Chains A and B, each alone.
Chain A
């Protein structure tokens, strides 16, 4: 059963359309991550679902009801904000209990729920502290706890980890994922960090300029990107993009020189872009694609990134960490054809 259904959702601010017909179904218990560059409309989408902004057109259904005209509190959602939004003048217990203020449950029942949420988050011993006496990670746990006590149909997270330092972020990422596995709630999570998206999501929604670019599992968006934007947004370092043209028999002539047999059916004469991830491109392996001099080396330990100069800029490849080619050395980079992606040069859509 779909828990959250978004249909033809449009949002306009003073005549500027910032969301263009968003469609999405989120299954019960699913962890969906919205990812995209800043300003692409992720927060707007989330705020529309939460009821903090008014829908311009389209519909939002939560747990089988259209909620377009419901107040946020009646939508059966809870939201965790980037700034935590926990109140400095209240104790942790009060902050967590704040989510229950409008609930009609008897007081002992509320207390019990606060305690059990605190226990789940490992915050029991901090219940009577004020937020100023907590670390950043603990504050974010309080914010999550406040959302959890309400036991909503859908949890909404808007970049909840971006105020934490890198180490804590990795840790909280894991904790949220574990929490999701334990509680099994439906989560819509917004981030601009593709690593967060890849590591946490059941399904990723990639957005750009108010459009959904692709919806898929982490593996799908990584291995079968729908277009050049997704291809370059997911994965680090970004996918190499080499312009070329299809010649007879499915070969591609690259503008950087060289040509390769692709073995897939491609329309002859079409201008295309060949995409190869740095992790698939190695010196002296597979079918050779590019030849050039090593400009820069970035040792990462077990492997080394090498930047190889070509007529259309540097191409990044991965070399062995122990015996990387020297700077200035001419290398031939190759990749297995099944790891290559071909996109239409005009539209950027994936061709094969």
Chain B
């Protein structure tokens, strides 16, 4: 009896201790941790703050590294938004980022699923081959891509800008890892119920890895939205520029118009924010686990 009473008191007293409304930090370790996080946060916010600050400055003030513009102005925004080219670039970027995102989420998960759930000769080799491409930097691939695009007449086309990103090694790897969390029982049960393998992938496996798909979509969209080197090289005409390429062309040979670049950049973060807000609510953990165990 006494033993039972003891165990009853212990947890409840601990709960009381823990559930104070706002606890002060316990020790130096915690203080240090908060400081580090704070420093990290500042580091993250700095460039964004600087971007916005610069976009509100007059050109002569750009190289003064003050945060608060002396004479804040929306002139840059008016200029950028009245420049017709900006809309072209924006549209190009949207088209390219959306198509590459859809394609690579589709193909990465298809290939990732196949590598994860099917046993076939050479499976491991294929996986390694895909992974090894992760070790080759884009800068090295740009020249072969360019030569290839030239041969096929892809220069200065949407297809030319998009083709390298329609499937990604990283996404394939990510999706393969996530499909490992889908129990084989789910797949076999569907097979018994008469679904073909594509239907199983689409109706059973894909909904179970929705959080991973959302994460991948965010990564790929951001990657393509901000891609610079390849679009710069493959495009020639100003109408084919993507937003980052277009923005960098503001100003002339002698002078880079930072205030305009920063203004364009500030505007161009809006779609990435929207994408993030749309997809982040799909990133909910534990969807897979709900179908398992009691």
A-to-B contact residues, CB < 8 Å: 50-52, 71-73, 77-79, 81-89, 98-99, 101-102, 130-132, 135-137, 139-140, 146, 150, 163-165, 168
In contact, A72 and B192 (Cβ under 8 angstroms)? yes
Pick from A78, A82, A84, A168: contact of B291, CB under 8 Å = A84
8 Å CB contact of A73 from B185, B191, B204, B210: B191
Decide: B208 and A88 in contact? CB cutoff 8 A: yes
Residue of B nearest to A163 (CB): B293
Is B192's CB under 8 angstroms from A78's CB?
yes
Interface set, chain B 18-46, CB cutoff 8 A to A: none
Instruction: Assess the B291–A85 pair: CB atoms within 8 A.
Output: yes
The reply to whether the CB of B239 lies closer than 8 angstroms to some CB of chain A is no
Contact present for B189 and A85 (CB under 8 Å): yes
Given A83-B293, A84-B291, decide whether A102 and B194 contact each other with a Cβ distance below 8 A: yes
- Please give the residue numbers on chain B whose beta carbons come within 8 Å of chain A beta carbons, in ascending order: 183, 185-186, 188-195, 204, 207-208, 210, 287-294
Nearest 6 A/B pairs, CB to CB: A136-B294, A102-B194, A73-B194, A88-B291, A132-B290, A85-B189
Contact of A88 with B287 in the complex, beta carbons under 8 Å: yes
- Chain A's closest residue to B292 (CB) is A83
Question: B281 CB to closest chain A CB, in angstroms?
Answer: 15
Complexed CA–CA distance, A271 and B294 (Å): 50
Q: What CA separation (Å) do A71 and B194 show in the bound complex?
A: 8
Chain A residues with CB under 8 A of B207 = 87, 89
**In contact, A99 and B208 (Cβ under 8 angstroms):** no
Residue of A81, A88, A102, A140 touching B189 (CB-CB under 8 A) = A81
Assembled-state Cα–Cα distance A83/B293 (Å) = 6
Chain B residues lying within 8 Å of A150, measured Cβ to Cβ, are 193
| A-B residue pairs in contact (CB < 8 Å), sample of 17 | A50-B192, A51-B192, A72-B194, A73-B191, A78-B192, A79-B188, A81-B188, A82-B185, A83-B293, A101-B194, A102-B193, A102-B195, A130-B290, A137-B294, A139-B294, A146-B193, A163-B294
Of chain B, the residue at the smallest CB distance from A79 is B192
Are B193 and A101 in contact (CB-based, < 8 A)? yes
Which one of B183, B189, B194, B210 has the highest number of Cβ atoms from chain A below 10 Å of its Cβ?
B189
Cα–Cα, bound, A73→B294 (Å): 28
Report how far A168 CA is from B292 CA in the complex, Å.
16
B294:A164 contact, CB within 8 angstroms: yes
Q: Which residues in A have their C-beta under 8 angstroms from that of B191?
A: 52, 72-73
Cβ-defined partner of A87 (8 Å) among B188, B192, B289, B291: B291
Docked pose: A131 CA to B290 CA in angstroms: 7
A-B contact count (CB 8 A): 85
In whole Å, how far is A248's beta carbon from the nearest beta carbon of chain B?
59
Q: Which of B188, B195, B291 contacts A52 (CB 8 A)?
A: B188
Is B290 touching A88 in the complex (CB atoms < 8 A)? yes
Q: Which residues of A contact B208 (CB under 8 A)?
A: 87-89
Instruction: Report Cα–Cα, A73/B192, bound state, in Å.
Output: 5
Query: Whose C-beta in chain A lies nearest to the C-beta of B187?
Result: A85
CB-CB nearest in chain A for B190: A98
Q: Residues of A contacting B290 with CB < 8 Å? A: 88, 130-132
| Minimum distance in angstroms from A139 CB to a CB of chain B | 6
Minimum CB–CB distance for B148 against chain A, Å: 41
A83 and B294 form a contact (CB under 8 A): no
- How many Å lie between the Cα of A328 and that of B206 in the bound state? 65
| CB contact under 8 A between A83 and B193, given known A131-B291, A164-B294 | no
Chain A neighbourhood of B294, CB < 8 A: 135-137, 139-140, 163-165, 168
Evaluate whether A87 and B194 lie within 8 angstroms (CB atoms) in the complex, with A137-B294, A139-B294 already known: no
Known A87-B207, A89-B208; further 11 A-B contacts with Cβ < 8 A: A52-B191, A72-B194, A73-B191, A83-B183, A84-B292, A85-B291, A89-B210, A101-B193, A101-B195, A131-B290, A146-B189
Question: How distant is B192 from chain A, measured CB to nearest CB, in Å?
Answer: 4
- CA–CA, A81 to B189, complex, Å? 8
Residues in A neighbouring B194, C-beta threshold 8 A: 71-73, 101-102
Are A87's CB and B287's CB within 8 A?
Answer: no
Cβ–Cβ < 8 Å partners of A135 in chain B = 294
Most chain B beta carbons < 10 A, residue from A132, A137, A168: A132
Q: How far is the CB of B206 from chain A (nearest CB, A)?
A: 10
How many angstroms between the C-alpha atoms of A85 and B192 in the bound complex? 12
B contact residues around A98 at 8 Å (CB): 190, 193
Q: What is the chain A residue whose CB lies nearest that of B183?
A: A83
The CA of A52 and the CA of B290, in the complex, are separated in Å by 25
Nearest CB in chain A: distance from B4 CB, A: 21
B183→A85 contact, CB < 8 A: yes
Q: Which B residue sits closest to A150, measured CB to CB? A: B193
> A158's closest neighbor in chain B, by CB?
B185
CA distance A89 to B204 in the complex (A): 9
Q: How far is the CA of A106 from the CA of B210 in the complex (A)?
A: 32
B188–A85 CB distance below 8 A: yes
Residues of B within 8 A of A89 (CB): 207-208, 210, 287
B87 → A minimal CB distance (Å): 39
- Chain A residues, CB < 8 A from B291: 83-88, 131-132, 139
Closest to A103 in B: B194
Q: Which one of A77, A87, A99, A137 contacts B186 once the chains associate, using CB atoms below 8 Å? A: A87
CA distance A32 to B268 in the complex (A): 66
Smallest CB separation, A136 vs chain B (Å): 2
Q: What A residues does B293 contact at CB under 8 A?
A: 83, 136, 163
**In the complex, residue of chain A having the shortest beta-carbon distance to the beta carbon of B210:** A89
Which residues of chain B are near A99, meaning CB under 8 Å?
Answer: 193
Q: Which of A71, A84, A168 has the most CB of B within 10 A?
A: A84
The answer to whether A81 and B193 touch across the interface, beta carbons within 8 angstroms, is no
* Chain B residues closer than 8 Å to A85, beta-carbon distance: 183, 185-186, 188-189, 291
B206 (CB) vs chain A CBs: closest residue: A89
B294 shortest CB reach to chain A, Å: 2
Q: Which residues of B contact A130 (CB under 8 A)?
A: 290
Residue of B nearest to A78 (CB): B192
